[in-house]
Amino acid sequence: MAHDGHRHDHGEGSELPPIALRVKALESLLVEKGYVDPKALDVLIDTYEAKIGPRNGARVVAKAWTDAAFADWLKRDATAAIASLGYTGRQGEHMVALFNTPDTHNMVVCTLCSCYPWPVLGLPPVWYKSMPYRSRAVIEPREVLREFGLSVPEDREVRVWDSTAEVRYLVIPERPEGTEGLSEEQLAAIVTRNAMIGTGVVTA
């Protein structure tokens, strides 16, 4: 296992950036005033977190699977390659693509807070921001992956990458067998958010 750690620079006093703190304050006020149903808000957040948001990243993965030149560009300069598809913005200024192989499984965590590639994965899931995931992913990654239902063979290295304020990671999962006849759009439809974090794999 390799743990690629980097310096985090988020300031003191809170794990959340100022914009996130303002959003949480606004959310609390709207709920308190009765303008927003917290259950409806949860459904909306879940939709953006697990369905709409990760579609951008899924398109990046599908293109990497079907376009060798794009995959090579992604390996050399993920930020520029991803930007060429129109996916840019805060939390995605410096992207690195991690390609899973038969020998290596990549997994992403942010040990000190919850740095996350918003332009390609949308909202970070609650578990990604939780202390148990952030602390255990580095110490016992295989056990954490098993809890996600993913058993990585012992002869395959698990590499844990620590996101930072400067660098965000996108896992490019292995393309599953039996998908040779699928279009790029059809391939994107089977790519999951967890597979792009490394806590899952893509199945046909």
Annotated catalytic residue: which of 115, 130, 151, 183? 115
Listed residue (114, 43, 106) closest to 78, CA to CA: 106
CA–CA separation, 56 vs 70, rounded Å?
15
Give yes or no: 114 in active site.
yes
Give yes or no: 151 in active site.
no
For 13, 61, 137, the CA distances from 77, given in Å and listed in that order, are 34, 15, 26
Q: Which two tokens stand for residue 146?
A: 């098993």
CA 159, 185, 175 angle in degrees (round to 5)? 30
Annotated catalytic residue: which of 114, 130, 151, 183? 114
Give yes or no: 183 in active site.
no
Annotated catalytic residue: which of 14, 84, 113, 163? 113
Annotated catalytic residue: which of 14, 110, 163, 183? 110
Give yes or no: 28 in active site.
no
> What would the DSSP string read from start to end of 124-160?
PPHHHHSHHHHHHHHH-HHHHHHHTT----TTSEEEE
Q: What is the pLDDT along the chain (204 residues), one digit of tens a residue?
A: 555 544 444 443 345 556 566 767 777 777 777 777 777 767 666 665 555 679 999 999 999 999 999 999 999 999 999 999 988 766 546 999 999 999 999 999 999 888 888 889 988 888 999 999 999 999 999 999 999 999 999 999 999 999 988 899 999 999 999 999 999 999 999 999 999 999 999 998
CA–CA separation, 186 vs 188, rounded Å?
5
> What would the DSSP string read from start to end of 39-86?
HHHHHHHHHIIIIITTHHHHHHHHHHHH-HHHHHHHHH-HHHHHHTTT
Within 8 A by CB and 6+ apart from 152, the residues are 105, 142, 145, 158
CA–CA separation, 97 vs 95, rounded Å?
7
pLDDT computed for residue 83 by the predictor = 93
